[in-house]
């Protein structure tokens, strides 16, 4: 039990101090199947955040595309090769 607490504390500290190193450590633990050593609360937070970011990025890109298509349709006199 003390080992689990130390592992959790160490990974949580790494999450706060070196995010990239934390991601690499979590990936290694996942590959090894060391489920008890994973930083579950922070993994959940990051996966949820990634999903939100991807969705927002898609919305932004669709908005830009829609704007270009509307300009193409309704401002045909201003079309150029660029």
The percentage of the chain sitting over the pLDDT mark of 90, rounded to a whole number, equals 76
Residue 11 CB coordination number (10 Å): 20
To the nearest whole percent, how much of the chain has pLDDT over 70? 87
Q: How confident is the model at residue 6, as a pLDDT?
A: 53
Residue 72 contacts residue 79 (beta carbons within 8 Å): yes
Q: Taking 50 as the threshold, does the pLDDT of residue 9 lie above it?
A: yes
Q: What is the pTM of this model?
A: 0.67
pLDDT for residue 1 is more than 80: no
Cα–Cα nearest to 39, from 69, 70, 12: 12
- Domain ranges for the chain, please list them: 2-75
């Amino acid at each position: 039990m003390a080992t689990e607490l130390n592992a959790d504390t160490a990974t949580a500290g790494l999450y706060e101090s070196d995010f990239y190193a934390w991601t690499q450590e979590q990936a290694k633990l996942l590959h090894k199947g060391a489920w008890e050593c994973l930083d579950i609360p922070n993994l959940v937070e990051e996966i949820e955040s990634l999903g939100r970011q991807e969705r927002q990025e898609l919305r932004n890109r669709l908005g830009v595309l829609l704007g270009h298509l509307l300009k193409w349709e309704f401002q045909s006199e201003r079309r150029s090769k660029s």
